[in-house]
Chain A
């Protein structure tokens, strides 16, 4: 049964790695969402469900078209709709006449989780499967590293597109690296490759912008219209602390010695938003403060249309921005977001940051 899963930014590579590690070679890999994907998803979803739902559904339908008969989704209880995505997909796919398997992994129902997990693992036993999973989460760290370097080298690269080419190549290498010893050697390779193969303008002193907001809106370039690349093209370094790491990286989660950036952010957000309410609401607020203190120049906050938790943080962010003198640009994204308006707003924001920096410099000289 060919296995398919929807496209989820760079996390797609992690899924692929885990599946391959579990001896699943009958994979139908998702393509980057296109205009058609968005259309396909919107057509079959209710119209004011959040945008991630539509695009992921579109992506799922595309892998099914291409022959997948076993697809994965997750179920959990949370404040937002994410936890009920998969059951709804199931209804929709059934109505469309799909007869394959839909595996809904539900971590809160342990027996069910393992039963379903077993279906995915092919012929491996539990320990081997766990090992594959573990390698997956370790690799996730390195995909994140590639991403981080890509959008930092990308700002000052001399020949446009060279960082992207290196990143693509490295991502493939990571997916196909087998064996824990080899995997552990990857970070060095990644750093060196970037240093050697991407030529950068050494004198440049780029602005630095943090990207925060709803998980999918941040990690999936198709919905945020490649905002990080856009920033790079304007000569700005972009970085996002948001990744899937918090969920799948058990090694990181169980490491009590490390102060987790996410916990720090939540603490900082406390005076503004004290309690958990789903999404990344508290992190968005906390990171505004955290990265201001670390000397970053501004923050772009992305959220999908009708997203519940992020509307809350979006309403509070202007105050945080004022209190801490950290410029924040909130952008709502959905499947209809126009390229032109989006580009203008990002450019205007970068202009503002530049002006602000110049003024600060002047003040310093005096």
Chain B
């Protein structure tokens, strides 16, 4: 059985279901790289271009972890799946950068899909997926079935992570929990926090320096930007004078703006990757808007590969302390942006 390697980084965290299902249905073995470890990070930092963002660097490590075990690597060149909004340029360039930077890689399967700029539609998606399928089987029925199943799997995945407005309101009223259940902390009020950032940061404990567990430990009930109902995000984005066109950044800024307006959380934590292009824009907009309406404190944590987990922990603790104190003392909190 042929083995196809899928690096567990960047867009994997969005499209994992679709990709793994597709390759399984084609009768191949989809090998996903292990969760980020110290070794993977070490390899990443050593081999990736210096100026790249941390998330992209991690991709290098995952590719290196896979390269000797698989026959193919699957690194799609993904522009966007929305008719106007775009992803990050790095998603498109990665496959070719890797090919040129790391010698002796297995063959890279790199379909290009870009709805926004190249005008690809459903049919193009189908055609491209079909072409990938032909590499593994000549049986058209098998390929078509694989594509359908993959798309379905992805839809189901969205259904499980995205919540609807009703669930959101329930969460806001503390009637349900959406993520890891917060630990009970004696004599302390349970806090509610919105944790926003890229999917590949939020869901990779190593990259996010264990923030989810820290929050849980401190008795914080949180929601992530990834889970936010899409219609609310779009509604918030319409309030901007100019449409923000970075697909995944909309989710982040939209979540921040929603909670700034609804004031249903105690605080917002925004995870920003240092030297991330889209983050620098959305982060600035968020900071400016938050200064204009500073009731819900916004903490922007800027970090990269040099940041130590301990640094993250102290920051989180300080922020949580501040939120708990503010409840009694009614102090006015300000937006803070810190490099850790």
Using a CB–CB cutoff of 8 Å, the interface residues on chain A facing chain B are: 45-46, 48-50, 75, 77-81, 83-84, 86-88, 90-92, 95, 104, 106, 272-279, 281, 305-309, 311-312, 314-316, 318-319, 332
Question: Which one of B77, B96, B240, B283 lies within 8 Å of A272 (CB-CB)?
Answer: B96
Taking A78-B245, A308-B88, A308-B89 as known contacts, 11 extra A-B pairs with beta carbons closer than 8 A to each other, sorted by chain A number, are A50-B277, A50-B280, A86-B242, A91-B284, A95-B292, A274-B112, A275-B77, A276-B92, A306-B275, A306-B277, A315-B101
Determine the distance from Cα of A46 to Cα of B290 in the docked complex, in whole angstroms: 14
CB contact under 8 A between A84 and B281, given known A48-B275, A272-B100, A275-B77 = yes
Question: Which B residues, 59 to 90, have Cβ-Cβ distances below 8 Å to chain A?
Answer: 77, 79, 84-86, 88-90
Beta-carbon contact of B116 and A77 below 8 Å: yes
30 A-B residue pairings within 8 Å (CB atoms):
A46-B284, A46-B287, A48-B275, A49-B280, A77-B85, A77-B116, A77-B243, A78-B86, A79-B79, A80-B89, A81-B280, A84-B245, A87-B241, A88-B281, A88-B284, A91-B289, A104-B242, A272-B100, A273-B96, A274-B77, A306-B280, A308-B88, A308-B90, A312-B96, A314-B51, A315-B93, A315-B101, A316-B100, A316-B101, A318-B100
Q: Is B258 an interface residue (CB 8 A)?
A: no
Determine the distance from Cα of A312 to Cα of B242 in the docked complex, in whole angstroms: 28
Min CB–CB distance A274 → chain B (angstroms) = 7
Beta-carbon contact of B241 and A275 below 8 Å: no
Beta-carbon contact of B277 and A81 below 8 Å: yes
Question: Which B residues, 273 to 302, have Cβ-Cβ distances below 8 Å to chain A?
Answer: 274-278, 280-281, 283-285, 287-289, 291-292, 302
Q: Which B residues lie within 8 Å of A83 (CB)? A: 245
CB contact under 8 A between A84 and B287, given known A311-B51, A315-B97 = no
Leading 8 A-B pairs by shortest Cβ distance: A312-B93, A87-B242, A46-B284, A277-B89, A49-B280, A319-B100, A277-B92, A308-B277
Question: Which one of B85, B93, B116, B281 lies within 8 Å of A281 (CB-CB)?
Answer: B93
Question: Which one of A92, A278, A315 lies within 8 Å of B100 (CB-CB)?
Answer: A315
Min CB–CB distance B293 → chain A (angstroms) = 13
Determine the distance from Cα of A104 to Cα of B242 in the docked complex, in whole angstroms: 10
Determine the distance from Cα of A281 to Cα of B288 in the docked complex, in whole angstroms: 31
Chain A, Cβ-Cβ closest to B91: A277
CB contact under 8 A between A276 and B117, given known A79-B86, A306-B280, A312-B89 = yes
Chain B, Cβ-Cβ closest to A311: B51
Beta-carbon contact of A311 and B52 below 8 Å: yes
Chain B, Cβ-Cβ closest to A271: B96
Beta-carbon contact of B277 and A80 below 8 Å: yes
Q: Is B32 an interface residue (CB 8 A)?
A: no
- The interface centre, meaning the residue of B49, B89, B92, B275 with most chain A CB atoms within 10 A of its CB, is B89
Chain B, Cβ-Cβ closest to A323: B100
Min CB–CB distance B207 → chain A (angstroms) = 18
Beta-carbon contact of A91 and B285 below 8 Å: yes
Question: Which one of B93, B241, B275, B292 lies within 8 Å of A273 (CB-CB)?
Answer: B93
Q: Is B21 an interface residue (CB 8 A)?
A: no
Beta-carbon contact of B277 and A77 below 8 Å: no
**What does the 1/0 interface line of B210-234 toward A look like (CB < 8 Å)?**
0000000000000000000000000
Chain A, Cβ-Cβ closest to B88: A308
Determine the distance from Cα of A75 to Cα of B84 in the docked complex, in whole angstroms: 14
Q: Which A residues lie within 8 Å of B241 (CB)? A: 87, 90
Q: Is B114 an interface residue (CB 8 A)?
A: yes
Q: Which A residues lie within 8 Å of B240 (CB)? A: 87
Chain A, Cβ-Cβ closest to B101: A315
Determine the distance from Cα of A314 to Cα of B52 in the docked complex, in whole angstroms: 11
Determine the distance from Cα of A49 to Cα of B285 in the docked complex, in whole angstroms: 12
Question: Which B residues, 259 to 281, have Cβ-Cβ distances below 8 Å to chain A?
Answer: 274-278, 280-281
Q: Is B156 an interface residue (CB 8 A)?
A: no
Chain A, Cβ-Cβ closest to B284: A46
Chain B, Cβ-Cβ closest to A90: B241
Q: Which B residues lie within 8 Å of A307 (CB)? A: 277
Q: Is B244 an interface residue (CB 8 A)?
A: yes
